[in-house]
Structure 1
Amino acid sequence: MSNQFLDLITKRRTIYAIGKNVEQTPEYLTDLIQNAIKQSPSSFNSQSSRAVILFSAAHENFWGLVADKLKDYAKDEESAAKTTAKMATFAAGVGTVLFFEDLDVIKGLQDSFPSYAENFPIWAEHSTAIAQFATWTALHTEGLGASLQHYNPIVDEQVHNEWDIPANWKLRAQLVFGSVEGEARAKDYIADDVRFKTFK
């Protein structure tokens, strides 16, 4: 079947080999990312997603913070060196989007709609996932590669301190992006009859 949207999301893949060879300016990419998040749906139109967009030294600083923090978890020097090298591949990109959810918004909805209170944190996870996917796909349409990382909560304190992030913003994911410097890994799909049921 031919569908423009499906074509885009099929080609959007995790790219680990990224670089700084991009034509787009930080200003252009910031506008792209902001619009992708703004146009992403959220429960009750809560618009609870927040983002911090890092370029240049700030982007590299973030991955340096992650590398330093991960050293505390390394079993030995060899594993520490491997982790540091992995973080360097992320720092090699051109930017990182830090995705947050605003806990005050979620709490406000819980107070206003107590019947749904237990669901709002779940729906907030849906909202941030959609915003992440939309941003990732938007970057792909610009010819950029990206991978979604999750080094929260181990770097939450450092991030909040470094960039003066409000305490009510909860870090959920990190999307690192840059020029495509290597192919995506092969992707296998499980059988449709395992995943889907259709009734007519």
Structure 2
Amino acid sequence: MSNSVINDLKKRRSIYALGEDVKQSPAELATVIKDAIKHSPTAFNSQTVRAVILFGDKSNKVWDIVEKRLESEVPNEEAFKKTQEKIATFRAGFGTILYFTDTDVVKNLEENFPLYAANFQDWSEQAIGGAQQAVWVALANEGVGASLQHYNPLIDEMIAKEFNIPANWKLRAQMPFGSIEAPAGEKEFMADEDRFRVEE
């Protein structure tokens, strides 16, 4: 059995060796990213996911902020050097997506649907996870590599100030993307019997 969706999912890998040699323009990639997010499901069609799509110097600024912020967190100079090397691989990409949750929407849902109030935070996390995967797969389908990073909440305030982010947008992840300069390593899977149950 051949399934094009499964084939596309298999293309999605964490690519850490990124470059700027992409065929698409920033506008074309922004359209792909926006469409992937728009068509990702959210509970109650709440559309809680927000994204800031950055290219060029603005993308680099994200990783400048990460580097500056982590300098005060790592234990010593040797550790910071390794951190800088890692961050340099993200900075080498073509762009960065900042993913946010609109907390005002979540709060309104909690107030308007009290029976489900305890679930809306979880559902917003599911929504952003779905959007991230959709974007990741869509980029992979364009031949563009990406990875998902989580330097929040350490960088939240600096990112908000630099990019004029609304106070009700909560940073959830950062996705550097670009040309694939080296393939991902082999992916290992746990045994199906430890992970799934199929009953007929």
Runs of 4+ in 1 over 3 A off after TM superposition: none
- Alpha-carbon distance, 1:32 to partner: 0.8
% same residue = 50
Q: For 1:38-187, what aligned pairs fall within 5 Å after superposition? A: 38-187=38-187
* Shift in Å, 1:98: 0.4
* AA aligned opposite 2:122: I
In the alignment, structure 1 segments of 5+ residues that lack a partner are none
Residue 77 of structure 2 aligns to which amino acid in structure 1? Answer: E
Deviation sequence 1:125-152 (CA, Å, 0-9, x none): 0000000000000000000111000010
What TM-score results when the alignment is normalised by the length of structure 1?
A: 0.99
What is the TM-score when the length of structure 2 is the normalising length? Answer: 0.99
Which residue number corresponds to residue 8 of structure 1? 8
In 2, Cα distance between equivalents of 1:86 and 1:13: 17
Task: Find the aligned partners of 2:160 and 2:11 in 1 and give their Cα distance.
Answer: 34
Q: What's the secondary structure of 2:147's corresponding residue?
A: strand
Q: One-letter code of the match for 1:79?
A: A
Q: CA RMSD in A?
A: 0.6
C-alpha displacement of 1:94: 0.3
Q: How far off its partner does 1:52 sit?
A: 0.3
* Residue 20 (str. 1) matches residue 20 (str. 2): yes
Q: CA deviation at 1:74?
A: 1.3
Provide the secondary structure at the position in 1 that maps to 2:51.
strand
Number of aligned residue pairs: 200
What stretches of structure 2 of length at least 5 have no aligned partner? none
